[in-house]
Structure 1
């Protein structure tokens, strides 16, 4: 099934070959991930702010001249998508293919972005993946999102204050095995915050700006 990873596209050039509805969706997703997006195609189904559009049919040299980090084959012709992927792989460029995901390097995974928490689901059918995402997304409460925000902000402070990785792991275990989670689930953020500070101790807590938690 492959290794589930998050691909960092921040300020990296992504070339989408194909300007139809599917190509436009891929371009929008890459934009949301912070990529520099170029769309190549004879036409564009929808104008998108923030992308560079090149009106042209697929051309290997044209794509390689853009020096992309990722090439997405999103045309409506399978043989052209195969050629796009093959040409890019020969140049050691990461590839993604919309009509046959398993034939490229990167496979898109259905996801739900809830802010500090991102859920992903992959299965044998998109319908099941969507069902799972809808089911588990409904269990992410505002309090859990607040906790995710707290822990994200705490992490660099903990890393600086606690040098040993096993000690840091033990500290996170204490947090998750404490009443913090019970308070979060009941919506009592004040009690959760107080318990969290108690676990962290004065020495570590003094490194935390008030705005962090």
Structure 2
């Protein structure tokens, strides 16, 4: 009987059936450009620290609001010169924020921020994910390559397992290889060749990866000579 029921369901419904949870499909995976965006992290514990680590590339725009900080978080903000507002949270502290991270263990503070946050702000509510409108997925990053993994709250354990599996599949030199692909694409776009030939070249270096720096240089030289022949 169970198999008959599952056969009539789509993959998301099957996962919900097995796990006994409702998966929120209202989120669209995006990569946000947070440059020049005001970021406010409310909280001074481990969760706030984890969020800060993810947001460090934009440290100039970050404000931590908390009356006290864990020792490790204090060391982190001192090391990276992140601004700390040592006080209890008030609306004036986040009224102009573009991204608000709620990372306290105080239900009253958490609810206060949710009720008074700007309607235009992105909100990450660590205490209750569905109360916010933005999540921090598990990520894999190797240079320019970024992979985000989310199960929509169904199983964080599965997300971590997928991350480990994907990381094991990526060679150690993948970061440098991605840089090579970027440079190759820029060069190919400048060549005096047909669109079809450009696409063919771009496909070739993905289908047959060139990981060695020496081999990459040979490939570049060969490509430049080919372009001279087309002039």
Distance 2:149 2:221 in 1: 34
* 163 and 194 in structure 1: CA distance in 2 versus 1, 3 angstrom threshold: closer
Aligned to 1:99, the other structure's residue is in SS state: coil
Matched pairs, number: 195
Tell me the secondary structure at the aligned position of residue 71 of structure 1. strand
- Aligned partners of 1:31, 1:6: CA distance in 2, in Å? 16
User: Taking structure 1 as reference, are residues 75 and 189 closer, same or farther at Cα in structure 2, changes over 3 Å only?
Assistant: same
Q: 1:17 aligned to 19, 42, 57, which one?
A: 42
Return the offset for 1:29. Answer: 1.8
> Which deviates more, 9-18 or 129-138?
9-18
Q: Which has the higher contact order (CA 8 A, sep 6+)?
A: 2
The answer on whether the counterparts of 1:109 and 1:120 sit within 8 Å (CA) in structure 2 is yes
Structure 1 residue 104: Cα displacement: 1.5
**Contact (CA 8 Å) 1:9, 1:34: kept in 2 or not?**
no
- Contact (CA 8 Å) 1:110, 1:122: kept in 2 or not? yes
Aligned to 1:43: 68
Q: Judging changes above 3 Å, is the alpha-carbon distance between structure 1 residues 24 and 199 closer, same or farther for their aligned structure 2 residues?
A: same
Structure 1: runs of 5 or more not aligned: 205-213
> Aligned residue for 1:175?
205
For the residues of structure 1 that align with 2:160 and 2:142, how far apart are their CA atoms?
Answer: 15
Give the alignment's Cα RMSD to 1 decimal. Answer: 2.9
TM superposition score normalised by structure 1: 0.75
Q: Flag the structure with larger Rg.
A: 2
TM-score (norm 2): 0.70
Q: CA deviation at 1:134?
A: 1.2
Q: 1:84 to 1:125 in 2, by over 3 A?
A: same
Task: Output the CA distance in 2 between the equivalents of 1:102 and 1:166.
Answer: 46
Task: Flag structure 2 segments of 5+ consecutive residues without an equivalent.
Answer: 1-24
Runs of 4+ in structure 1 off by over 6 angstroms are: 162-167
From 90, 111, 114, the equivalent of 2:139 is 111
Write the deviation string for residues 150-182 of structure 1: whole angstroms up to 9, x where unpaired: 0123333444547997775454223323xx32x
Q: Deviations over 1:27-66 (max 9, x none)?
A: 22211355521011121113112211111212112322xx
Q: Corresponding residue for 2:15?
A: none
Secondary structure class of the residue paired with 1:75: coil
Query: Aligned match of 1:56 in 87, 91, 97?
Result: 87
